Amino acid sequence: MLTTINDREFGCFQRFIFEAAGISLSASKKALVCGRLSKRLQQRRLASFGEYFRLLESGRDPAEVQTAIDLLTTNETYFFREPKHFDLLREQARAARSSAGPFRVWSAACSSGEEAYSIAMVLADVLEPHPWEIVASDLSTRVLQRARIGHYPMTRTQHIPQPYLRRFCLKGVGAQDGTLLIERALRSRLSFMQVNLNASLPQLGLFDVIFLRNVMIYFNLETKRQVAARVLGALKPGGYFLIGHSESLNDVSAAVRQIAPSIYCKR
Ligand SMILES: C[S@@+](CC[C@H](N)C(=O)[O-])C[C@H]1O[C@@H](n2cnc3c(N)ncnc32)[C@H](O)[C@@H]1O
């Protein structure tokens, strides 16, 4: 297996993922890129990172371009990450019970689905029979496939509140021991789709709450501004915009005002 990538080859992959996803990889990510791609080179029987880059660039294999994007994105996530966001969601959902029309939430970089299913559990609990909709999107098709299936190792589910575990999750038995499946009725309520936040967005309608958490950390300031402007265009005035706790919208957008760390409201 190849264990080194030279500076020129690394530069090619920096450019590739910036153009494809808006992700800025600093020089410190060289070992990470090498580690993530070297197995793929072996699978494709390619002798160098340069050869792999030329394959991606050639336009001959669009599926391989998606595979490389999947390998170069970071998909770390878990259920009920940042509980304050779910307290806010609960409050907003309660307040929406008397409003007209469905309560709409977008999980805009949903990774393998844990964020979107956490949102769905809260809405099913608090809002029903009032209608609600969740759009869950990501650039990586590999994580979206896992999200649609909704099958997770039990070790990753410890933050799901007990009543929700009982109501919305099926515990694996036999060969599925140690796993958990989101029950079909809840799964069928979500729309998963591929959306690149670094390109013009499809028509998704307007949302009451948008989760855009732990993705802008990978973007430079200019890309953050462009992505925030695009995504905020899909938020209702007075709607809530939630970002990761290590992220900030300082210098990024004046379209929202900060309510609390990582919680913003559209003006
Ligand atoms: C660290 S995960 C965050 C998951 C979840 N929002 C959370 O906070 O737990 C970041 C996700 O952003 C996605 N991503 C990166 N660039 C993207 C882009 N340009 N468009 C859409 N999704 C992107 C990655 O595929 C990855 O699944």
The torsion of the CA quartet 230, 232, 235, 241, rounded to 10 degrees, works out to: 140
Active site residue 36: yes
pLDDT of 2 over the 80 cut: no
Q: Which of 65, 89, 111 to mutate to test the pocket of ligand 1 (most atoms within 8 A of CB)?
A: 111
Report helix angle 7-21 to 30-43, nearest 10.
Answer: 90
Task: Give the tens place of pLDDT for each residue, 81-133.
Answer: 999 999 999 999 999 999 999 999 999 999 999 999 999 999 999 999 999 99
pLDDT of 218 over the 80 cut: yes
Nearest atom in ligand 1 to 199's CA: 19
Nearest atom in ligand 1 to 114's CA: 9
Cα 215 to ligand 1 centre (Å)? 5
pLDDT of 49 over the 80 cut: yes
Query: What is the Cα–Cα distance from 209 to 103, expressed in whole angstroms?
Result: 9
Cα 91 to ligand 1 centre (Å)? 26
What single-letter amino acid sits at 191?
A: S
Which pLDDT band, with edges at 50, 70 and 90, does 152 fall under? very high
Nearest atom in ligand 1 to 212's CA: 6
CB atoms within 10 A of CB 76: 8
Mean pLDDT of 55-70: 97
Mean pLDDT of 202-207: 98
Cα 130 to ligand 1 centre (Å)? 29
Which one from 104, 138, 187, 208 is the annotated catalytic residue? 138
Whether omega for the bond prior to residue 131 falls within 30 degrees of 0, making it cis, is no
CB atoms within 10 A of CB 135: 22
Give the binding-site residues of ligand 1, using a 6 Å CB cut-off. 21-23, 73-77, 81, 109, 111, 115, 138-140, 143, 196-198, 213-215, 218, 244
Q: Which of 138, 143, 159, 243 to mutate to test the pocket of ligand 1 (most atoms within 8 A of CB)?
A: 138
- Contact residues for 98 (Cβ-Cβ < 8 A; gap 6+): none
Cα 109 to ligand 1 centre (Å)? 4
- Contact residues for 125 (Cβ-Cβ < 8 A; gap 6+): 163, 164, 167
Cα 195 to ligand 1 centre (Å)? 10
Q: Tell me, what's the pLDDT at 193? A: 98
